[in-house]
Amino acid sequence: MAGPGKTPDGRYVVIGGRRWRATDPAIPDEIQAQLRSELMKARRAVKQALHDEDPEAERRARASVQAAKVALGERGTPWWEQNDREREQRWTDGLRRLTHGG
């Protein structure tokens, strides 16, 4: 099954005619899988918080979604504007924050 189309420069995926920033291709597959797992966990937590009408849990869950998206390079400073060291630091810090709370 083919994934979404990418722009010629590889910086964006195109879904339904809309551009979304692509995941940083330099992230090793195993780390990328861990970050995606944390992203999905955070999205489920947002859904649960909304269902429970718990604004504090929703705030925490949305912060985790943001942290995962930044770690993946899909938000924050564009990955193509970062050097290799900054890119690795971004995903390493993000994964640590998401899995160890700090």
Residue 90 included in any domain: yes
Task: Indicate the number of domains in the chain.
Answer: 1
User: What are the CA-CA distances from residue 91 to residues 20, 24, 40, 41, 101 (Å)?
Assistant: 19, 9, 16, 17, 14
Residue 5 included in any domain: no
Give me the pLDDT at residue 75, please: 97
Token readout for 100 is 């160890």
Residue 2 included in any domain: no
Query: pTM for the complete prediction?
Result: 0.91
Residues 56, 34: Cα–Cα separation, whole Å: 25
Element (H, E) at 38: helix 29-52
Residue 70 included in any domain: yes
- Domain region containing 40: 24-100
Residue 45 included in any domain: yes
Where residue 1 falls among pLDDT bands split at 50, 70, 90? low
Where residue 4 falls among pLDDT bands split at 50, 70, 90? confident
Where residue 102 falls among pLDDT bands split at 50, 70, 90? low
Residue 6 included in any domain: no
7-66 residue pLDDT tens: 999 999 999 989 999 999 999 999 999 999 999 999 999 999 999 999 999 999 999 999
Distance of CA 32 to the CA centre of its chain: 9
Residues 41, 20: Cα–Cα separation, whole Å: 21
Residue 8 included in any domain: no
